[in-house]
């Protein structure tokens, strides 16, 4: 009788999937156009301004007024789609591709339940998640528990993808930081809209993989308590692009050549170290502790080929009071098989928040 180590099998599946996606010639590499020049310098400067020593976490979100259209309605639920101009400041807007200037959201709400008795969670995109569908499927069953779902289309993804970009393979390193900063700004504005205009009684933010990193950042920087639910997420993009499987899908030679054009000669190892330095700006452990850390629940996989266990535990250590839950599987298999666990974390995170007092 042959004994199969199931955990190792999940881990191997992640590496096979990663090799197929990132080490074959079927798709281009990440950052094939280099670092991004002056855009990268701008973003490095702006992201440093987010950290607690400058009290960055308390700047007020920009109020938005999305333009809505109804996609479908049933007896118990309604799906709407909305558009609004990105809430980034003018410096960031000038760095964003024109295709990303307009943000799009899907909004799935229960009917006949007053918003003050309803919670709403904003779902953020993982790497390669270009549509609303998967996240709507994750949130849809929660309608029965009076939890609405709002899905943001990321900059650089879906209809917001630049013309020259193929799939999720961002052209420059600066695009990764831009995507993150714009997502933070837009999500904080959506949460502010849900609170002040929508009148929802509780709010949360969740995301898978890259979306979980962004969810953690939003939960950290939002001025009021929100349930914060990162799923299968590292504490930093360094883990994914420098240590994990995505390092095989990164255009290291192109990054070295881009530096050579700027009269900076580096070995590939030095190029990787520079990438570590740049992406250290995405280290969530440097961000402020969220207003209610008890409403932070990380869901991580036991045999994740993309996200090592120590990365998840670093976040929990940085945010005392937060919880880590483990599901059996790898990154890919958990993404496919453990939606019920993700939903349970959403429900439990929201239950750890107080209902907002309705206006008099």
Q: What's the mean per-residue pLDDT of the chain?
A: 89
Cα–Cα dist 115/125, whole Å: 25
User: What distances in angstroms separate CA 360 from CA 207, 313, 357, one per listed residue?
Assistant: 34, 43, 9
CATH code where residue 155 lies:
3.40.50.1820
Q: Is 101 exposed, middle or buried (0-12, 13-18, 19+ CB in 10 A)?
A: middle
- Residue 185's nearest CA partner among 61, 45, 50, 102 is 61
User: Are residues 245 and 18 in contact, defined by beta-carbon separation less than 8 angstroms?
Assistant: yes
The percentage of the chain sitting over the pLDDT mark of 70, rounded to a whole number, equals: 89
Residue 106 counted as domain residue: yes
Cα–Cα dist 69/74, whole Å: 15
Residue 177 counted as domain residue: yes
pLDDT reported for residue 25: 54
Residue 211 counted as domain residue: yes
Split into its structural domains, the chain has a count of 1
Eight-class DSSP state of 46: H
- Residue 268's nearest CA partner among 286, 290, 251, 291 is 251
Region of residue 55 (left: phi > 0; alpha: psi -120 to 50; beta: else) = left
Residue 331 counted as domain residue: yes
Cα–Cα dist 327/340, whole Å: 11
Helix or strand or coil: residue 24? coil
Residue 35 counted as domain residue: yes
Burial pattern 285-312, b for ≥16 Cβ within 10 A else e, equals: ebbbbbbbbbbbbbbbbebbbbbeeebb
Phi, psi torsion values for 302, nearest 5 degrees = -70, -30
Residue 55 counted as domain residue: yes
User: Are residues 220 and 287 in contact, defined by beta-carbon separation less than 8 angstroms?
Assistant: yes
Residue 22 counted as domain residue: yes
Cα–Cα dist 324/104, whole Å: 31
pLDDT reported for residue 145: 96
pLDDT reported for residue 12: 53
Cα–Cα dist 58/250, whole Å: 35
Quickly count: other Cβ atoms within 10 Å of residue 73's Cβ. Answer: 11
Residue 5 counted as domain residue: no
pLDDT reported for residue 30: 96
Query: From first to last of its 360 residues, what are the pLDDT tens digits of the chain?
Result: 433 455 555 555 544 444 444 455 567 899 999 999 989 988 888 887 665 444 445 678 999 999 999 999 999 999 999 999 999 989 999 999 999 999 999 999 999 999 999 999 999 998 888 899 999 999 999 999 999 999 999 999 999 999 999 988 999 999 999 999 999 999 999 999 999 999 999 999 999 999 999 999 999 999 999 999 999 999 999 999 998 888 999 999 999 999 999 888 999 999 999 999 999 999 999 999 999 999 999 999 999 888 889 999 999 999 999 999 999 998 888 878 889 999 999 999 999 999 987 655
| Domain boundaries, position 331 | 13-352
């Amino acid at each position: 009788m042959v004994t199969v180590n199931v955990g190792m099998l999940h881990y191997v599946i992640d590496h096979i999937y990663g090799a197929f996606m990132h080490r074959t010639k079927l798709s281009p590499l990440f950052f094939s156009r280099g670092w991004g020049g002056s855009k990268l310098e701008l973003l490095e400067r702006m992201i440093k301004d987010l950290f607690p020593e400058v009290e960055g976490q308390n700047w007020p979100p920009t109020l938005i007024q999305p333009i809505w259209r109804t996609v479908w309605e049933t007896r118990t639920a309604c799906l709407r789609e909305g558009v609004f101009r990105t809430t980034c400041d003018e410096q960031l807007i000038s760095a964003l591709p024109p295709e990303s200037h307009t943000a799009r959201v899907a909004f799935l709400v229960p009917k006949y339940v007053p918003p003050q008795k309803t919670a709403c969670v904003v779902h953020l995109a993982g790497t390669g998640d270009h549509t609303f569908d998967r996240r709507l499927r994750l949130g849809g069953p929660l309608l029965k528990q009076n939890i609405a779902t709002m899905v943001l289309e990321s900059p650089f993804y879906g209809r917001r993808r630049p013309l020259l970009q193929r799939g999720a393979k961002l052209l420059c390193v600066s695009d990764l930081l831009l995507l993150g900063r714009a997502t933070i700004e837009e999500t904080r504005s959506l949460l502010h809209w849900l609170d002040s205009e929508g009148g929802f009684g509780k709010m949360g933010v969740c995301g898978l993989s890259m979306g979980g990193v962004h969810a953690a950042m939003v939960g950290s920087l939002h001025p009021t308590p929100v349930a914060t639910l990162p799923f299968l997420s590292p504490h930093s993009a360094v883990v994914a692009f420098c240590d994990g499987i995505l390092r095989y899908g990164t255009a290291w030679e192109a990054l070295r050549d881009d530096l050579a054009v700027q009269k900076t000669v580096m070995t590939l190892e030095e190029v990787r170290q520079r990438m570590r330095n740049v992406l250290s700006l995405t280290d969530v452990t440097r961000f402020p502790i969220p207003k209610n850390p008890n409403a932070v629940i990380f869901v991580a996989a036991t045999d994740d080929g993309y996200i090592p266990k120590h990365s998840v535990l670093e976040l929990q250590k940085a945010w005392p009071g937060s919880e880590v839950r483990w599901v059996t599987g790898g990154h890919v298999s958990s993404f496919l098989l453990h939606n019920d666990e993700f939903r349970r974390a959403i429900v439990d995170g929201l239950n750890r928040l107080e209902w907002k007092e309705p206006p008099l």
